[in-house]
Amino acid sequence: MGITYLERLVLICGEAFDSFDAGALIRTESKTLMPRWMVTCPQCNQKFAHTEISAEVMKQASRDPFRIVSKPVIPHAGDKRTCPNCKNESVVHPFNLLYEST
Protein backbone atom coordinates (compact mmCIF):
# COMPACT_ATOMS: atom_id res chain seq x y z
CA MET A 1 0.00 0.00 0.00
CA GLY A 2 1.43 3.37 -1.03
CA ILE A 3 1.29 6.56 0.97
CA THR A 4 -1.44 9.14 0.46
CA TYR A 5 -0.90 12.54 -1.07
CA LEU A 6 -1.26 14.17 2.35
CA GLU A 7 1.30 11.86 3.94
CA ARG A 8 3.73 12.65 1.17
CA LEU A 9 3.17 16.38 1.64
CA VAL A 10 3.88 16.04 5.37
CA LEU A 11 7.09 14.18 4.55
CA ILE A 12 8.25 16.86 2.14
CA CYS A 13 7.42 19.66 4.55
CA GLY A 14 9.14 17.83 7.39
CA GLU A 15 12.30 17.49 5.34
CA ALA A 16 12.28 21.12 4.28
CA PHE A 17 11.82 22.20 7.86
CA ASP A 18 14.72 20.07 9.07
CA SER A 19 17.14 21.56 6.62
CA PHE A 20 16.20 25.11 7.54
CA ASP A 21 17.84 26.10 10.81
CA ALA A 22 16.22 29.44 11.59
CA GLY A 23 18.13 29.70 14.84
CA ALA A 24 21.48 29.57 13.08
CA LEU A 25 20.35 32.25 10.63
CA ILE A 26 19.32 34.60 13.44
CA ARG A 27 22.57 33.92 15.29
CA THR A 28 24.63 34.77 12.21
CA GLU A 29 22.65 37.95 11.54
CA SER A 30 22.87 39.30 15.06
CA LYS A 31 26.60 38.67 14.96
CA THR A 32 27.15 40.71 11.80
CA LEU A 33 24.92 43.52 13.10
CA MET A 34 27.03 43.96 16.20
CA PRO A 35 28.97 47.23 16.39
CA ARG A 36 32.68 46.81 16.98
CA TRP A 37 35.76 48.57 18.21
CA MET A 38 38.22 48.64 15.35
CA VAL A 39 41.96 49.23 15.39
CA THR A 40 44.22 50.16 12.51
CA CYS A 41 47.42 48.19 12.16
CA PRO A 42 50.38 50.61 12.29
CA GLN A 43 52.37 48.34 9.94
CA CYS A 44 49.97 47.86 7.04
CA ASN A 45 47.03 50.18 7.86
CA GLN A 46 44.63 47.27 7.79
CA LYS A 47 41.59 47.81 9.99
CA PHE A 48 40.55 44.86 12.09
CA ALA A 49 38.09 44.22 14.89
CA HIS A 50 39.42 44.50 18.42
CA THR A 51 36.23 43.75 20.32
CA GLU A 52 32.59 43.32 19.56
CA ILE A 53 30.38 45.68 21.48
CA SER A 54 27.85 43.72 23.44
CA ALA A 55 24.14 44.53 23.48
CA GLU A 56 24.53 45.31 27.16
CA VAL A 57 27.10 48.06 26.48
CA MET A 58 24.90 49.50 23.70
CA LYS A 59 21.96 49.56 26.09
CA GLN A 60 24.05 51.50 28.61
CA ALA A 61 25.08 53.96 25.88
CA SER A 62 21.46 54.58 24.91
CA ARG A 63 20.79 55.64 28.51
CA ASP A 64 23.85 57.90 28.61
CA PRO A 65 23.02 61.61 27.97
CA PHE A 66 26.02 61.85 25.60
CA ARG A 67 25.45 58.39 24.08
CA ILE A 68 28.95 57.42 25.08
CA VAL A 69 29.75 53.81 24.35
CA SER A 70 32.11 52.64 27.07
CA LYS A 71 35.34 51.22 25.77
CA PRO A 72 36.63 47.82 26.78
CA VAL A 73 39.07 47.74 29.66
CA ILE A 74 42.61 47.74 28.31
CA PRO A 75 45.63 47.28 30.60
CA HIS A 76 47.69 50.41 31.20
CA ALA A 77 50.58 49.02 29.14
CA GLY A 78 48.21 48.33 26.26
CA ASP A 79 46.68 45.23 24.76
CA LYS A 80 48.71 43.14 22.32
CA ARG A 81 46.89 42.19 19.14
CA THR A 82 48.14 40.39 16.08
CA CYS A 83 47.10 41.88 12.78
CA PRO A 84 45.22 39.31 10.67
CA ASN A 85 46.73 40.80 7.52
CA CYS A 86 50.49 41.18 8.15
CA LYS A 87 50.68 39.10 11.37
CA ASN A 88 52.59 41.87 13.13
CA GLU A 89 51.88 42.27 16.78
CA SER A 90 50.88 45.77 17.83
CA VAL A 91 50.00 47.31 21.15
CA VAL A 92 46.49 48.71 21.32
CA HIS A 93 45.65 51.63 23.61
CA PRO A 94 42.11 52.87 24.31
CA PHE A 95 42.67 55.93 22.08
CA ASN A 96 43.41 53.58 19.15
CA LEU A 97 39.90 52.20 19.22
CA LEU A 98 37.52 53.38 16.52
CA TYR A 99 33.83 52.78 16.83
CA GLU A 100 32.25 51.06 13.86
CA SER A 101 28.58 50.29 13.59
CA THR A 102 27.52 47.75 11.03
* Residues found near Zn ion in the complex (CB under 5 A): 41, 43-44, 46, 83, 85-86
Which of residues 64 and 89 has its CB atom nearest to Zn ion in the complex?
Answer: 89
Shortest spacing between CB 39 and Zn ion, in angstroms: 10
Shortest spacing between CB 80 and Zn ion, in angstroms: 13
Which of residues 7 and 89 has its CB atom nearest to Zn ion in the complex?
Answer: 89
Which of residues 41 and 97 has its CB atom nearest to Zn ion in the complex?
Answer: 41
| Cβ-contact 76, 10 below 8 angstroms | no
Beta bridge partners of residue 22, listed in sequence order? none
Kindly report the number of other CB atoms within 10 A of residue 48's CB atom. 14
What does the angle CA 83 – CA 86 – CA 89 come to, to the nearest 5 degrees?
45
